[in-house]
Amino acid sequence: MDKHVVSIVRYEKPLESVRKAVELSNGLKNLPNKARVFIKPNIVFWTKAVPFPKWGVITTSRVIEDMVILLKEYGIDDITIGEGIVADPKDTETPAHAFHTLGYETLRQRYGVNYINIMERPFEKVDIGEGIELRFNTDILHSDFIVDLPAMKAHNQTVVSLGIKNLKGMIDIPSRKKCHNADPEKDLNFYIARLADKMPPIFTLIDGIYTLERGPGFDGKMKRSNLLVASADILSADKVGAKLLGREPKDVPHLVHAARNHNRPIDFSDLDIIGLNPDEVASVHEYDFPYSYTEDGIMPVPLAKQGLKGLYYQKYDLTMCTYCSSLNGLILSAIRYAWKGEPWDKIEVLTGKKMKPTPGMKKTILVGKCMYQANKDNPDIQEMIPIKGCPPDPKEVITALHQAGIDANPALFDQVDQLPGLFMSRYQGNPEFDESFFRI
């Protein structure tokens, strides 16, 4: 049996390190002559309002430029960089600002590279198996070759976010929400495992110059790891990437699904790993946000340690989509800052699509349209406080919290675009966290 080659190298120098990773992995062996190449970075979040910590959250522009240079050396002239940034699909200014700030316009001028916001481009239906259809960006589907450049990060729902998970950015908004369904078997991991199956040939280069604990967002813990993982086989790259994040592939559900779907082992028995020894460079990156369960309430551990009582904030699950996820952290912050030391009177907050209210709660906040639809007629709710939007309007969130007796500060929601900037202070003055990696 021919084994899939995966390379692991240290990032040490511009171009030289990426070149080494590509050559050791023979990652461009399937690259056709004069191919139309689609580069998929990871830009999971962007804001125009303030600088924010990008390390491990976003693919470095350094790796993107190095990859473009190598493709040009292979005689490739038709190169498109594409991403579907998590934002209002009607908001074209934020993606444009991201692409400009990250230097993609310079890449266009210097190398003739195109770049697109996929939300401004067509989508088409793809059957990913078992009669399930998702709508994928047409440009990536009709390319000849894909260069997948994910950031190396732990993920609070999918354990890791690497090459396969990065392709979720290529489907439209309804398809993304569909992935976060309430089916206990065909869940988020089931969907993600199939995202690469109908794609053109893919070369995966995992950007681990910076890595992220408790991702996928800017509120995670960022690390300088200086690692690159490369393979012409996306599942192989992801198995090794998971290991470097401190997770055995068998403990990552979507990788287990993907291996089973392709009759592959979930361990490294079908891999030829070249370069660094994964056991020697792996580092545990926590992915989970632990919760406290006591008679006084259910909530994230930091809130419990602060002494909050009377709050029942059930732990997020796989059904909470990206848009409610981004709001969820803000709601928790608002509650934390609103605590004045007096116990609340059995307030429960429900999110996602399948949570059910706890009998005996006095007030139940239903966050999002999906949660409202699931529980609007539930007899266990004494006082329902619905937030029906998809995604919810921050102003309605404030109204709901106030109705529940939580005196949240409206300014937190009025200045939500400023929040990411607060996390920059963790890294300021540390030379390891260098903004130049995100400039061309």
Q: What is the pLDDT of residues 368-401, one digit of tens each?
A: 999 999 999 999 999 999 999 888 888 899 999 9
* DSSP classification of residue 378: -
Phi and psi at residue 157, to the nearest 5°: -110, -40
- The beta-strand segments (E) located in 243-339 are 271-275, 291-294, 297-300, 311-313
Helix (H, G, I), strand (E, B) or coil at 114: strand
Let me know: does 225 contact 152? Beta carbons within 8 Å. yes
Cβ pair 166, 140 in contact under 8 A: no
Structure tokens at 422: 């607060």
- Alpha helices, H only, 405-438: 410-414, 419-422
Residue 90 pLDDT:
83
Contact yes or no for 84/137 (Cβ under 8 A):
yes
**Residue 13: CB atoms within 10 Å:** 11
Q: Residues in the chain with pLDDT < 70?
A: 1, 87
Tell me, what's the pLDDT at 279? 97
Which backbone phi and psi does 61 adopt, to 5 degrees?
Answer: -65, -25
Residue 400's SS3 state is helix
The two tokens of residue 40 are 């998929």
221: CB partners within 8 A, 6+ apart:
212, 213, 214, 286
In order of 176, 212, 328, 437, the CA distances from 47 in angstroms are: 21, 19, 18, 18
pLDDT at position 80 is: 98
Angle between helices 104-111 and 93-101 in degrees, nearest 10: 60
pLDDT of amino acid 1 = 65
Report the 10 Å Cβ neighbour count for 374: 19
What residue ranges define each of the domains in the chain, with the CATH number in brackets? 4-287 (3.40.50.11440), 291-421 (no CATH)
Whole-model pTM: value is 0.96
pLDDT in tens, 421-430: 989 989 999 9
172: nearest Cα among 117, 244, 108:
117
Nearest alpha carbon to residue 172 among 123, 216, 133, 128:
123
